[in-house]
Amino acid sequence: MTDKLSTPELFKGIALFTPGGDLIYCIDPSKQGRWHLHLCGALQEILDLPEPPHFLVPCYTATIDHWLNPRTEQVQTFAEAYPAVMRHQSVLRAIFGTGELVWQTAPWQEDLCDRMVLGTYRSSFPQLWEDHDLIVRLDRADIAPQYQQHKLNPQQGIAHTQGYVLRLFVAGHSVATERILQNLHELLERSLKYPYTLKVIDVLTHPEQAEIDQVSATPTLVKVWPHPIRRIVGDLDNVDKLLQTLGAKEI
């Protein structure tokens, strides 16, 4: 069975950032279109916003098209990001698996991306200007993030979700942290057969969260859902150890 989380050879991808740096994105192998509305709707649910933040589009978006050139029969990539999110290129490379690809800068559209107008939304949507270290992948078939969609088991009478909620605890943002994040994304998308949500937490700025999750060393990966809660400390490159800790075969 094909792992639906692996990055296909040909696909379209859309990433939507918040002013604070949170990210929600999708990878669409069917290449059928842009579905920014779904990303905005998911952000509304995750951050408990009063309404979908449609004003983020297109100012805080990045798009990528991995396509087959019929003339050369070679796979080519066109990747474009708006100026407000160009600083997140390393994250874009990690989630879309583009290696050292340099993203092109999309032209700033003053009629749609007036900074003063965007700033007026801050009082109504303060969560968007906060950094929650949020990285969420949304599947095309989902209207809401799959980790929030539960299926009822009629025999056992309990809710069961086909997905993972993970927290990665790191100490500061460095080259080593970026490498860990990229390697972990690649490993998870290659090895897990269900969607996952990964939240990155810096223990230097959020020590209270580390205390709540009983984290005493970094890096530490915590599987919050499905239960039981499990942790893996230090070695995040060992696929077998990681999958065993996550209990991936139990889902």
What is residue 86's predicted lDDT score, i.e. its pLDDT? 92
16 — pLDDT class (breaks 50, 70, 90) = very high
Question: With contact defined as beta carbons under 8 Å apart, do 189 and 221 qualify?
Answer: no
Radius of gyration of the chain (CA): 19
231 and 132 within one domain: no
184 and 113 within one domain: no
pLDDT tens, 105-117? 987 766 678 888 8
Using the CB atoms, write b or e for 39-55: b if 16+ within 10 Å.
bbbbbbebbebeebbeb
Query: Where among 108, 141, 174 does a domain terminate?
Result: 141
* Res 223 pLDDT > 70: yes
Judge if the upstream peptide bond of residue 219 is cis by omega within 30 degrees of 0: yes
170 against 188, higher pLDDT: 170
What is residue 105's predicted lDDT score, i.e. its pLDDT? 92
16 and 66 within one domain: yes
* Res 70 pLDDT > 60: yes
62 — pLDDT class (breaks 50, 70, 90) = very high
Q: Residue 152 domain-assigned?
A: no
Mean pLDDT of the chain: 75
* CATH at residue 233: 3.40.30.10
102 and 52 within one domain: yes
4 against 85, higher pLDDT: 85
75 against 155, higher pLDDT: 75
What is residue 53's predicted lDDT score, i.e. its pLDDT? 92
144 against 70, higher pLDDT: 70
45 and 84 within one domain: yes
| Least reliable range by pLDDT among 17-26, 74-83, 95-104, 193-202 | 193-202
Section 40-47 average pLDDT: 85
- Residue 97 CB neighbours (<10 A): 18
134 and 214 within one domain: no
List the structure tokens of 224. Answer: 């919050």
Question: With contact defined as beta carbons under 8 Å apart, do 2 and 19 qualify?
Answer: no
> How many domains in the chain?
2
In percent, the amount of the chain with pLDDT more than 70 equals: 76
Q: Residue 107 domain-assigned?
A: yes
What is residue 72's predicted lDDT score, i.e. its pLDDT? 80
What is residue 32's predicted lDDT score, i.e. its pLDDT? 55
Question: With contact defined as beta carbons under 8 Å apart, do 156 and 149 qualify?
Answer: no
* Res 36 pLDDT > 70: yes
Q: Residue 85 domain-assigned?
A: yes
Render 74-91 in DSSP notation, one character per residue.
EEEEEEEE-GGGGGGHHH
CA distance 14 to 28: 8
* Whole-structure pTM value: 0.55
Q: Residue 148 domain-assigned?
A: no
187 and 131 within one domain: no
Domain that holds residue 188: 164-246
